[in-house]
Amino acid sequence: MSNHNWKNKNVFITGANGLLGSWLTKFMVDEGANVVALNRDIVPKSILWSSSEEFAYIKDKLTVVYGCLEDYQLLERALNEYEIEAVFHLGAQTIVGTANRNPLSTFESNIRGTYNLLEACRRNNELIKAIIVASSDKAYGIQEKLPYNEDTPLQGNHPYDVSKSCADLISYTYFNTYKLPVCVTRCGNLYGPGDLNFNRIIPGTIQSLLNGESPIIRSDGSYIRDYFYVKDGALAYKMLAEKMYELDISGESFNFSNEIQVTVMELVEKIITIMGNDMMPEILGKAKHEIKHQYLSAQKARAMLGWRPRYTLEDGLRETIDWYKTFFHNKWT
């Protein structure tokens, strides 16, 4: 536990509209932080703009900067004028399929966006106390030795993976050369309430089952992934920022994971069981440019930060399924 007090601290969150960003924004607002959110697009169905009791009050407490990470002048202005001291950089193009179709836009947002933000932080370094940059387990690329730990080389193979490897290394450069207070996070596949990317396996499977349809598995079902509940993710980011105020850990990277290996088929079967369904998945076996076997060690975060996940996979899936039931019920009624 941390004794850090976020009340009236000025915090900048990129990607605040996204799955992880929405929950992190909520947790920071709940602790009294002055949150400045960078938003490129307004996504009405994002939980950040939700009218649900859990989120409805948040939009009235936010300062929203409309723009994109590719706009350096906008980032520098926002950090300076709002006197930001803590930065959470979650904004990115996060979908592997989108990256494969259009690598240029992914490189622009994920690589250029990262060095733009870090340079803007460097120009405002007398104010900045903590910067957390969201990388990914994909930054490690294909490795023979698993689980990934923080010393595993960064060697992405495909457009999204490479964009994260690059952003990760750029972040370390800004610490190493300019002593900017940066830490990097690498998480597995985030899931949870509010994920509207239905091409992802968990929301897609739940949507199919609620529609009375067979879930679709793009791969052969044997791919192993690290599935990490979004609330655990948001709490991990908040805790890491708090530790940056207390400990000399700038320049470090941290994996966050519940350290459970699950195949896509096992995951889909868990969801089917929890939902009390008997639909069999349709296996396409068509996944391309994806890593077959990935999982993370979170030993460093446990040892250095005292971090622990709060949710099991089953707990997280149950909460997520309940949220989608409400979401689709409200959508259809």
Q: Whole-angstrom Cα distance, residue 13 to residue 64? A: 10
Of the candidates 228, 243, 240, the residue with the CA atom closest to the CA atom of residue 189? 228
Q: Whole-angstrom Cα distance, residue 308 to residue 188? A: 15
Instruction: Spell out the residues 6+ positions from residue 139 whose beta carbon is closer than 8 angstroms to its own.
Output: 154, 156, 161, 164, 165, 167, 168, 186
The label of the residue with tokens 């990277």 reads 253
Per the CB < 8 A criterion, the answer to whether 14 and 90 are in contact is yes
Of the candidates 240, 321, 244, the residue with the CA atom closest to the CA atom of residue 277? 321
Q: Whole-angstrom Cα distance, residue 37 to residue 69? A: 12
Of the candidates 320, 95, 98, the residue with the CA atom closest to the CA atom of residue 209? 320
Which residue among 66, 72, 148, 160 is the active-site one? 160
Active-site residue flag, 160: yes
Count of H-run helices and E-run strands, the chain: 11, 13
Active site residues: 160
